[in-house]
Structure 1
Amino acid sequence: MSLKSFQFQLANLRPWLTLFAVVWLLGSFGLGWLVNSLLIIVGLIFLVPIIGFFGFRWWLQRNVITDKCPACGFEFPGLKNTQLQCPNCGEVLSVQDEHFQRVAPEGTIDVKAVEIPTNLLE
């Protein structure tokens, strides 16, 4: 083993040895609370996104439903207890009892009035 390869191996270990020395010195001076708080912060940085991801998936499974539009039969997802518009036909719907229902009363027919110009015969 040559001196250059030994120096190269020490260069790779230098950051870890420095970290170990700093932690050991802080612990010996009674600053263990600082090290503990830093470890807790690092642990929270890794745990909070994981817990948030699984919490959001749980919330989505409980609050997103997929049903067919009662007007045109197009199937799409929606959130419970909200009003939304069908992306296919534009019908305004509400989500109740895990099914889409029209906001307009049953039997209502939506009509758009179109003005037809009259031409005079001469």
Structure 2
Amino acid sequence: MNFRNIQFNPSHLLSGLRPWLNLFIALWLLGSFGLGWLVNSFLILLGLLSITPVILFFGFRWWLQGNLVGGCCPVCGNEVTGLNNTQLQCNSCGEKLLIREKQIQRFSAEGTIDVEVTEVSYNSPEDS
């Protein structure tokens, strides 16, 4: 390693700080001339712009926790997830589903009656 090529350049170190120093000096001068209200309003605006994304993030999470519904498809039993009061399609069987009042139901046209079929065994008297 050759130590002769290493040089110390203080102007290179301060080049990254120069924009921040200029901003600080400008704000200090505005405050000293009685324009402190301008500096305060700028800082308040900067604070609001920095806190707004945080508030929006937590607000969206709160809304999502109240409206995200998960359950099983009533046709095939596959796990499905969707938003409350929306329609979706099961990824496994392709059945159209409706999420209403945090319940997953089959989507059917108005006036359709949904029935469940049960198998009944019948032994005729002739079979015995």
Whether the TM-score (by the shorter chain) exceeds 0.5 is: yes
1:30 equivalenced with 2:21 (yes/no):
no
- The offset of 1:12, in angstroms, is 6.5
Q: 2:77 aligns to what SS in structure 1?
A: coil
- The offset of 1:97, in angstroms, is 2.9
What residue is the counterpart of 2:114 in the other structure?
106
Separation in 1, partners of 2:63, 2:14: 50
Q: 2:76 aligns to what SS in structure 1?
A: coil
What residue is the counterpart of 2:87 in the other structure?
83
Separation in 2, partners of 1:79, 1:5: 60
1:56 equivalenced with 2:60 (yes/no):
yes
Structure 1: tracts of 5 or more residues without a match: 110-122
Supply the RMSD in Å over aligned alpha carbons: 2.5
Separation in 1, partners of 2:76, 2:55: 39
Structure 2: tracts of 5 or more residues without a match: 1-7, 118-128
Q: 2:60 aligns to what SS in structure 1?
A: helix
Q: 2:92 aligns to what SS in structure 1?
A: coil
1:71 equivalenced with 2:75 (yes/no):
yes
TM-score by length of structure 1 reads 0.71
* Greater shift in the superposed pair: 63-72 or 30-39: 30-39
TM-score by length of structure 2 reads 0.68
Q: Deviations over 1:44-97 (max 9, x none)?
A: 221111111111110100000101000010111111111211121111111123
Q: 1:87 aligns to what SS in structure 2?
A: coil
Identity %: 54
Separation in 2, partners of 1:37, 1:47: 15
Aligned residues: 106
- The offset of 1:9, in angstroms, is 6.9
Separation in 2, partners of 1:7, 1:96: 66
- The offset of 1:31, in angstroms, is 1.5
